[in-house]
Chains A and B, each alone.
Chain A
Amino acid sequence: MDIPGNLKYTRSHEWVRVDGGEAVVGVTDYAQHELTDIVFVELPEVDSEVESGDAVCVVESTKVASDVYAPVSGRIVAVNNELEANPQLVNESPYEKGWLIRIALSDPDQLDDLNNAGEYARLLEE
């Protein structure tokens, strides 16, 4: 199970890469593996405001639809339009090509509430 050390993680299997005042968000390798073939991704509107904990995306596999939760609050500044035609990028490259949304942080302190790689790895073992 791939858990890059430079990212932050939530209990609900989202990852966050901090880039200046913005957070890039996706789902972890563990999540994509559980979901299996992702066939469809529903992304939020650019410029919408989200609160930490809001269900912002839906990732659908042939088995089930799964909500993705905003790990931090802010404004959606970009969504990964590649996923419209190539939803399988989330399976193939969950941390890079399969990114979901980019949020302009309204409260950078929220990043401290997220888990680091080691903490996330321990969560997976529970």
Chain B
Amino acid sequence: MNRKTPLAPFQQKLGARFVAFGDWELPVLYTSIVEETEAVRSKCGVFDVSHMGRFFVSGKGAQENLDFILSRDLTTLQPGRQRYSLLLQEDGGILDDLMVARISELEFLVVVNAGNLESDRDWIEDHLKGEATLVDRSSETLMLALQGPEAERILEEVTGCDFSDTRFLDVREGVVGGVPFIASRSGYTGADGFEISVPVGAGKELWTRCIDAGVTPCGLGARDLLRLEMAYPLYGHELSREVRPHECGLEWALSKKNDFIGKSGIETYTIRTELIGFVLEKKSVPRQDCPVEVRGKEVGRVTSGGLSARLPNGFGLARVSLGSVRNHLDVVIRGRKIPALRVETPFIPRK
């Protein structure tokens, strides 16, 4: 029996269609993926992302520990700010991608992918030294992603807190109904918006207030299409233990100065592949694992693909041999070679 988040009964009432996602059963859509992505790009949508992991790493030495365990330089991460980082194994292979928020001098919130929750938690705990501790609050909290141009107005309406002076990647604590929550101005959609971590009871109230305020509930189908439009990587598609950051365009997420787990592995690794963005020249829908060919020779595979109302034809990301694709490529979809063009990403501009 797969797990559901505490918001499942509310989601069922809204007509959510559930789908298996790892250990979980989660809404893939409520009305339609097309309508939900349109709502995020034009007004505001809300996603229940409670299945993701939320770890609080705190105590003396928390920053030094995380600075070594995570790939990103955290020495300049101020309280009230958040950064994207990778979690690498010693040979530089990617264990996960995550967000790390500094709540205060000695307290950090690390948000990880649901599929890697246990392994990430064990890995971080095993590598913590000294007095720093990790507390996994994933089951005690919910996480909502409010995404869209109206997200700031809606968040202020439903919490009564002022977020007008927050910038992208700011982290702000607030109170709703007497219960504290943490909101970061961030998201996985490329739209303006907030990700809110909040204890379960208050989280249910917050969800209800968002729906009552007219926010569109959105599922995993919309979430995947929106992040793909931004060319954001997804673990298990673009990222895995078998690839290195430079093969994903993520060298910027590596600390230049400080040592971190995986640094020496990366330095001794010869990059063999790269991620490219492409748009099809004929109407079809590319999917993960579709072969990619150049002049009849297979050079790689699609890692993620889709079709969006905001792009003329199917589009996606592919992992190909380094330097094998200049401009033209063919994507083999159900046995047919569909011509495509390599393009710069993101596929649509970020707001």
A→B interface (CB under 8 Å): 36-37, 39-40, 42, 58, 60-63, 65, 84, 88
Contact = CB atoms under 8 A, between A and B. Distances in A.
Question: Interface size for chain B: under 10, 10 to 19, 20 to 34, or 35 or more residues?
Answer: 10 to 19
B32 interface: yes
A40 B287 contact: no
Contacts of B334: 58, 65
B283 A62 contact: no
Contact of A40 (B33, B34, B221, B285): B285
B307 interface: yes
Contacts of A62: 33-34, 221, 225, 306-307
A33 to B, nearest CB: 9
Contact of A37 (B32, B284, B287, B314): B32
Nearest to B17: A36
11 contacts: A40-B284, A40-B285, A40-B307, A42-B284, A58-B334, A60-B307, A62-B34, A62-B225, A63-B33, A63-B221, A88-B34
Contacts of A40: 283-285, 307, 314
Contacts of A63: 28, 33, 221
Most buried by A among B221, B283, B287, B306: B283
Nearest to B32: A37
B33 A36 contact: yes
A63 B27 CA distance: 13
B128 to A, nearest CB: 40
A95 B334 CA distance: 27
A62 to B, nearest CB: 4
B32 A36 contact: yes
Contacts of B287: 65
A36 B16 CA distance: 12
Contacts of A39: 34, 285, 307
Interface string B280-302: 00011101000000000000000
B29 interface: yes
Interface in B269-289: 283-285, 287
Interface in B14-42: 17, 28-29, 32-34
A59 to B, nearest CB: 11
Contact of A60 (B28, B225, B285): B285
A118 B29 CA distance: 30
B33 A65 contact: no
Contacts of B284: 40, 42, 60
A37 B33 contact: yes
Most buried by B among A37, A42, A58, A84: A37
